[in-house]
Structure 1
Amino acid sequence: MANPTRGDTWLSQGYSTAVGDYVSVGAIPFPDSEPSHQPVANWNDDISLILYRGDTEVGRTDYYYRTFYFDVEPGTYRAVMRIDRTAPGWEFSRSSTTEWTFTITETGVSRTISAPRLSYDVGVDLRNRVEGGRQQRFTVRATPQRNGDPAVTAVRTWASYDDGATWTPVRLTSTETPGEFTARLPHTRRTAGYVTLRTVAADASGNQLDQTVTRAFGLR
């Protein structure tokens, strides 16, 4: 199943650095479940990436990465990426919103900024659907970006059957693998339609990832 932060490379998962007068942020959109694939944005994808310091916008771009040059000061920052895939034929995961919230405590030096990395494993069929009418389980993974980054300390997931108009909490149970959870999709009698997923994950430094994938998979 595709989602915008799947993969094992730093660019697939998002990156950020802070050096005196700039912050770099980026994440490749719409990778698939094969980590070796490196997709890029198409000409007809609508992308916005906006960086905020507190509630003040400090820069934006219409691409999936950007180095923002400004007077970097210690504080709380948010990078918000919105992606819509408008080409015909894209039925699943064609829209996502990802928000990274992070704190910069030191400037003037090259330093990576930690943020949780998120992925899902869902037992879909070849049409990217699961059987409706009964409870389904899938895997949520929220792990540090790099070795040595702060551990992920909190993970919450929600599901929606109406494209995000209403949400139901998803029960998560830790597995023996650090950062891996078994998710129990809320029971529904629906045998058609789509499931939208939202997950919020935070690490020990307080940095957070909040991601919504619209129509992540379907019901049959």
Structure 2
Amino acid sequence: MPTRTADTLNLRVAEFVDAEGHYSVAGGSEESDTVEARLSRNGQQIADLSGGWAPVPTTAGPARYRLDLTTRRDSPEWRYATRTDTAWEFTSARPAGDAATPLSLLQVDYRVPADLLGTVRGNRPHELGVTLRQPAGVPAPTGTSVRVQVSFDGGVTWRNAPTKGSGTRYTATVPAGRGTVSLRVHAADRAGNVVDQTVLQAYGLR
């Protein structure tokens, strides 16, 4: 969980997570898994965490941070979600006390009506669920907005997916298509927390 203790940021984010909450990090049994991670403060890069997570010293005053995380999987048996690009923006200052304080990295969960092979019928539109949440210890997001875009050609071209909802739950209508569905989501809340996430070839169409 990403936290801040005094003037040290610990941005530990699980790079690979499944629908059941199981997770793994790069550098494990899958040699083809790669991760790039960089942290910026007020528009200036202050850390490259691509080689592994490490504490990042920072300044005491309020500042705007951006964490960029890219994951890739190239193994032949990994058909979907072969690349993700996620950028979190949040504001942080030195917390009171010495305890680790959770950071407001807005999270996106997806509900896809896929079968056991990771595919959805593509000859008609289908509904994609999007749920927003914060890490444990951070109040649930309020005053949220969500934009969803989809691609059927691996991210070469994008189209808007009509989206409705409020609070922490939204539903996007994915139009009929062929091949695979890539997703691009922008979400923000009233507190100024923002997440932009792209998942290439998130799931297949049959």
Interval containing the TM-score (normalised by the shorter chain): 0.7 to 0.9
Q: 1:139 aligns with which of 129, 132, 149?
A: 129
> Does the Cα contact within 8 Å between 1:115 and 1:203 map onto a contact in 2?
no
Query: Secondary structure, in 3 states, of the residue corresponding to 1:66?
Result: coil
For 1:60 and 1:23, the matched residues in 2 are separated by 13
Cα gap change, 1:140/1:187 in structure 2, threshold over 3 Å: closer, same or farther?
Answer: same
Q: Match for 1:40: what amino acid? A: V
Residue 76 of structure 2 corresponds to which residue in structure 1? Answer: 88
Decide whether aligned partners of structure 1 residues 66 and 106 sit closer, same or farther in structure 2, where only a CA change above 3 A counts.
same
- Superposed CA RMSD in Å reads 2.2
Query: Which of the residues 10, 19, 24 maps onto 2:6?
Result: 19
Q: For residue 134 of structure 1, give the secondary structure of its aligned residue in structure 2.
A: coil
Tell me the equivalent position of 1:32. Answer: 18
Query: What pairs with 1:110-149 in structure 2 (closer than 5 Å)?
Result: 110-146=100-136, 149=139
Contact kept, 8 Å, 1:174 with 1:180, in 2: the verdict is yes
Q: What residue ranges of structure 1 are gaps of 5+ in the alignment?
A: 1-10
Q: Is residue 151 of structure 2 the alignment partner of residue 160 of structure 1? A: yes
Between the aligned partners of 1:34 and 1:44, the Cα distance in structure 2 is 23
C-alpha distance in structure 1 between counterparts of 2:54 and 2:75, whole Å: 24
Q: Which deviates more, 198-207 or 105-114?
A: 105-114
In 1: Cα distance, 2:175 partner to 2:36 partner:
32
3-state SS of paired residue (2:170): strand
Taking the aligned partners of 1:142 and 1:107, their CA distance within structure 2 comes to: 24
TM-score by length of 1: 0.81
Structure 2 counterpart of 1:74: 62
> Which residues of structure 2 form unaligned runs of 5+?
none
2-structure distance, mates of 1:123, 1:64? 34
Q: How far does the alpha carbon of each residue in 1:104-131 deviate from its partner, in whole angstroms, 9 at most, with x for none? A: 2446755322132211111112211111
Amino acid at match of 2:38: I
In the alignment, the residues of structure 2 paired with residue 200 and residue 64 of structure 1 have an alpha-carbon distance, to the nearest angstrom, of: 26
Deviations 1:10-48 (A, max 9, x none): x4xxx232522x21112112221223x233323431111
1:45–1:165 distance in 2 versus 1, CA, 3 Å: same
Displacement of 1:147: 5.3
The answer to whether the 8 Å contact 1:26/1:64 transfers is: no
Given that residues 37 and 50 in structure 2 are in contact (C-alpha distance below 8 angstroms), is that contact kept between their aligned partners in structure 1?
yes
Which of 49, 62, 81 is matched with 2:50 structurally? 62
Shift of 1:79: 0.5
Number of equivalences = 200
The Cα shift of 1:187 comes to 3.4
C-alpha deviation, 1:62, in angstroms: 1.9
**1:129-158 CA-partner distances (Å, limit 9, x unpaired):** 111121111211112333552524111111
Change (3 A) 1:205 1:39: same
- Residue 166 of structure 1: SS of its match in structure 2? coil
